[in-house]
A and B are shown apart, each in its own frame.
Chain A
Amino acid sequence: MTTPLDAAEPAVQAAGSGDGRPAHRGTLRYALSKAGGALLSIAMVIVGTFFAFRMLPGDPVRALAQGRNMTPEQLDLERHRLGLDKPLIDQFFDFVGKTLRFDLGTSYEYKRPVVDLIGDRLGATLLLAGAGLVIAVSLGLWQGIRAGWRPGSRFDRFSTGVSLVLWSVPTFWLGLLLLMVFAAGIGPIPGIFPTRGIESVDAPDGFAYLLDVGMHMVLPCLTLAAVIYAQYLLVMRSSLLDEVSQDYVTTARAKGLRDDEVRRRHAVPNALLPTVTLVFMRIGFVVGGAVTVEAIFSWPGLGQLFYEAIRVPDFTLMQGTFMLLTVSVILMNTLADVVYHVIDPRVRSA
């Protein structure tokens, strides 16, 4: 983990056309170039995945056979099923062709097409990750602004301290602790939240069902949100501190604006720009967190699917989910770049 701000380098261009015309054309061109970059990255992921799963030392079939009694015939059958007995170049085109047609193969464990499994699990992950992000972003940014506006205050020192601790806490351990305290109960405190899954076995209907899912969501969501919230807080605070030292903030005060007006209208909008970029760039971290959290709480999402694929090991499933997760992150990053381009006037007029 390096300092967050080094990763966000908005390209501040020198004085642009300056004729007051909105640069919509420039934005479109930028978006297209970024989309092209994304396609290239995705292509690299597909190719990379192929080679990683085929060429790295460690015969996948042999790994599959670990701990299982498989005859040589069964191993050959498996090899044939995975297409590993064809020449490499054939395998490659086969793989690329299938992937582009969204055919990610058949899961060894579930005996169903990978895309179907993904379809089943996608909703649960979006729900969990979405809720977690919303909480982490809103709380982290709000608190980061308040802390950065009054550096050195008790609130600031408390916020920074808590964030530093949370940053050092591995997500899985936080999950274990929450599981222990709130789900299983410890000492005199009873367990209130469910420990696994997305719904109870005897799930009720209608509104009560939503409530049931909600109860199941509390602990995994909190676990996921906790560590990212800490990151966002620290980044927002840092950004705000940078802005506050600029002259235009003093100008705003000198104009007779109230303290909160200065903060809201001048400091925060400027500080938000690099922060928003970073929020998107850290999506990879959120994905990793989701995998961990879903594994611990048995939340039936993509993360848990991926985790199971690793454990079995089910290489086809692993391959498919890995590519999906990675491509999603790439797409989100591209979106972040384009959004930043639109919202920062300095970059827009380039």
Chain B
Amino acid sequence: MTSVAWTRRRLAFGRFWDTFRGQRPGVIGLAVLVVAVVLALVAPLFIDESVTSVVTGTGAKMAAPSLDSPFGTDESGRSILLMVWWGSRTSLLIGFLAALLSIGIGTVIGIAAGHFRGWLGAVLMRVTDWFLVLPSLVTALVLAAILGGSTLTIIMAIGVTSWPSTARLIRAQTLAVEARPYIERSKALGGGHWHITTRHVLPNVAPLLLASTTLEVASAIVTESTLAFLGVSANKTSWGTMLRGSYDWGAANAGAWWYILIPGLCIVAVVMAFTLCGRALESVLNPRLRKAGA
């Protein structure tokens, strides 16, 4: 790519960043995200998997928050604070990978559906619409139950059930981009399918993808924690699993509010952060949304 194109892209990014900075909720969301990701990444420097071990639980069982364990303990005496910290790695990782998978599938199918006219495009659209109608949680539950609840299968279950909305969005965008005259010119000059889609369509849909991915991660984290709560995930450390524990061990009846509140607040905080960030990105890319105060 020429240096002119790079400079142009850099300037465009600078403008983009300036506009984004003006979206206060988005900036707050981004800040929270950064903190969460950093905390998740540095966790191994302070703690390790043993915080989830039932055997080495040191504290009193189901103890309220105290100086010893600031967020209280669970039914095995494990520190909620440390478990939540360690669990952030799982929840964020699965959320992120599942979103990537979803966006990946959605983009490929979306671009293909928009690019290829004729029966291929129609078939892809039909398949997309069918997947879109499937109730996502129910389908993910079934897939997780059949495939077993390992991390990989959970990621797959979420990815396979959430790609359609992205595909529709990308398809609409692909159609819009390909309607532009320079695409015709490119085709006339001999640009093949691969060339048109990767060199022209993809860069144009890329900003949209960024916003979509961010929102998709929020959705994936909620889905993962729900799957874990409902017991189909084999994962022992995710926030959803912790909440499952609180339910199984009657935290509600025992009044162990910390066991229910803390992991849940973590989920809400991270999901809201991704959502605010994603909505701000959408606003920046679609000025019409900004004006309406949406």
Contacts and interface: CB of A to CB of B under 8 A. Distances in A.
- Judged by CB atoms under 8 Å, the answer to whether A and B touch is yes
B216 interface: yes
Q: Interface size class for chain B? A: 35 or more
Interface in A256-309: 283-285, 287-289, 291-292, 295-296, 306-307
Contacts of A310: 141-142, 145, 230-232
B109 interface: no
Nearest to B173: A6
A238 B293 contact: no
- B interface secondary structure, majority: helix
B138 A288 contact: yes
A6 B168 contact: yes
B215 A1 contact: yes
B137 A288 contact: yes
A148 B253 CA distance: 41
Interface in A226-242: 237-238, 241-242
Interface stretch (B10-18, B177-185, B218-226): B218-226
B229 A172 contact: yes
Contacts of B145: 63, 310, 313, 318
Contacts of A291: 137-138, 141, 230
B130 A44 contact: yes
Interface string A161-202: 000110111111100110110011111000000010000000
A330 B129 CA distance: 11
A340 interface: no
B205 interface: no
B252 A183 contact: yes
Interface string B245-262: 011000111110100110
A288 B136 contact: yes
Interface stretch (A49-57, A131-139, A342-350): A49-57
Nearest to A319: B142
A325 B138 CA distance: 8
16 contacts: A1-B216, A151-B293, A152-B293, A168-B271, A169-B268, A170-B268, A172-B225, A177-B264, A238-B294, A245-B292, A284-B136, A284-B138, A292-B229, A313-B145, A318-B145, A329-B133
Interface of B: 130, 132-139, 141-143, 145-148, 165-166, 168-169, 172, 212, 215-216, 218-219, 222, 225-226, 229-232, 240, 243, 246-247, 251-255, 257, 260-261, 264, 267-268, 271-272, 275-276, 282, 292-294
Given A176-B252, A180-B257, 11 more contacts: A2-B216, A63-B148, A171-B226, A173-B225, A184-B253, A185-B255, A288-B135, A291-B137, A292-B230, A310-B232, A329-B135
